[in-house]
Structure formats: C-alpha cells, structure tokens
Amino acid sequence: MRGLLPDHPAGRPPFPAWCSTAPAWAWSWRRWLPRVPVQYAGSGAGVLSTALQVGNALGVAIIGIIFYGALGVAATAAAYAHAFNTSVVYLISVGIVLAVLVQFLPRRGDRR
C-alpha cells in the first residue's frame, strides 16, 4: 500500500488505485484512529477495518443485485450493455451523493 496517502514520500499512486476503495481506507485510518484513546487502539482499528469491509461487501452485493436485476433472463450483448449502463448510473449517482454529504463532515479543529 505504498503511496496511498497524499503526503506519502512515494507520491501519488497511479489513477486506477484512486478508482478503488484505497483512498477511502487511507482517509478513514488517518481521520478516525487518532481520535481513539491509545489503550483502545487495537479495538478501534478492528472496528474500523470491519466497518470498511462490511461496506465493501454491501457495495458489491448491491451492484450485483442491480446488474443482474437489469440483465434479466436474456443473456444477449444488448442485455449485458443495458445492465452495465444501469449499474454505472447507480455508481455515479451514489458517488455524487456521497461527495455532497462529505462536505457536511466536521473539519479538523471544528468544535460543533
């Protein structure tokens, strides 16, 4: 996982790495673990890792449901193209919604 953090000495990873969940993992570790008291660091890391893995599993399951629901019983090239397009529209929509929601997260140093 070399270079996943923006200030890592190895620099930025190639573009495909930013299309994965790696940036979310790196951001989550840097954002939430420093808030956990030292005596609970192992538990905090375990909870964060579990939450991220459950989120990934749910994401794969939801995309699978959307894709195969749109595919239907016809396994033609047009049906696969339609299912793919439907899945991509969902992914883009969720990405936009999450990008907007992230703006409402408290910034470092905010005492809300």
Is the domain of 27 the same as that of 46? no
Q: What is the pLDDT of residues 58-94, one digit of tens each?
A: 989 999 999 999 998 888 999 999 999 999 999 999 8
Tell me, yes or no, whether 109 lies in a domain: no
Would 112 be classed as within a structural domain? no
Name the more confident of 39 and 105.
39
Same domain, 66 and 91: yes
For residue 91, being part of any structural domain is answered with yes
Which pLDDT does position 4 carry in this prediction?
42
Structurally, how many domains does the chain consist of?
A: 2
CA–CA distance, 108 with 37 (Å, rounded to integer): 17
Is residue 112 scored above 60 in pLDDT? no
Write down the pTM of the prediction.
0.63
Statement to judge: residues 90 and 55 lie in one domain: yes
Cβ contact 97:82 at 8 Å: no
Do residue 31 and residue 59 come from a single domain? no
Which structural domain, as residue segments, surrounds residue 15? 1-35
DSSP, residue by residue, the chain:
-TT-STT-TT-PPPHHHHTSSHHHHHHHHHHHGGGS-GGGHHHHHHHHHHHHHHHHHHHHHHHHHHHHHHH-S--SHHHHHHHHHHHHHHHHHHHHHHHHHHTTSPPTT---
Assess whether 31 and 45 both reside in one domain. Answer: no
Same domain, 11 and 49: no
